[in-house]
Amino acid sequence: KEIELPPPPPEPEAPKAPAILVPSDLTVIKPPEEAVGPATPDAGPLKDAGGDLQSALAVTFAKYENNFLSPEDAADVFQVYTRAMEGVGVILSPKHPSSSLVCELLGKNGELLSQTQASAAGQILSFQTSPFEENAILYLRVKDMNLAPDSPASELREYSLELRPIAALQPPPEAVQSGAPPKPEPPGVKEKSAVREKPKTTREVPAAPLWKNEAVQYGVGGFIVLVLVMVLIALMRRRKKQ
């Protein structure tokens, strides 16, 4: 009788790759779009100037058009760098006739240095600082006093900003070189000045008495002789008559 052998064990199946699921409708998942407000960047093509020192917009000595204020953006802060012995000239020109611009000058740490306001609505606001003794970082905070918080959000107040360097007045060379010798004068001018400055050494001689004057003496003597001659002539005429 034949002995039946057990069947061989089944061979292990090779691992199958996961099936690729192909969606019927290919869609591209996009990230959520950020809420984009009205395109109103300050200083022309530059970014918007924030309302505090951290988001201030760095500017230099130039003219910047297309700056905007609104109820939601009530202040613009600009950062400017000044060198030693140099000041800043600020010119703010509003485009809206009812705008009344105010500019606050802030120090490096945000301390208020000065505040200037336009004289009337729609007027240009301009001022300048004194030259600083050393390099400094300043901030300009611009506001519109006539822009009400409850105004429509679409109301924009446009203005331009112009910055100019103000150089310190240099003293004249004569004042700087205090120990320098004076400039030589022409010989003719020096001689004239010496003659003019020479003190008078002559003294006035008092006039001599009249009786010591020779002309007076001769005149008196001649008069006496004339009188004597006339007396003698008169006496001689009397004798002849007698």
Under 8 Å CB-to-CB from 164, ≥6 apart: which residues? 61, 88, 89, 91, 128
Amino acid at 98: S
Answer whether residue 136 is part of any domain: yes
Answer whether residue 174 is part of any domain: no
Amino acid at 59: V
Under 8 Å CB-to-CB from 76, ≥6 apart: which residues? 42, 49, 50, 51, 57, 67, 69, 141, 142
Q: What is the pTM of this model?
A: 0.54
Answer whether residue 118 is part of any domain: yes
Dihedral sign, CA of 45, 48, 52, 53?
A: negative
DSSP code of residue 176? H
Q: Report pLDDT digits (tens) over 9-56.
A: 666 666 555 544 444 443 343 444 443 444 456 655 556 788 889 889
DSSP code of residue 53? S
Intervals of the chain under pLDDT 70: 1-6, 8-47, 169-213, 216, 242
Answer whether residue 68 is part of any domain: yes
Domain that holds residue 66: 57-167
Q: Count of domains in the chain? A: 1
Answer whether residue 99 is part of any domain: yes
Answer whether residue 5 is part of any domain: no
Answer whether residue 196 is part of any domain: no
Answer whether residue 69 is part of any domain: yes
pLDDT of residue 106: 95
CATH of the domain at 90: 2.60.120.380
Structure tokens at 111: 């301390």
pLDDT of residue 119: 92
pLDDT of residue 22: 44
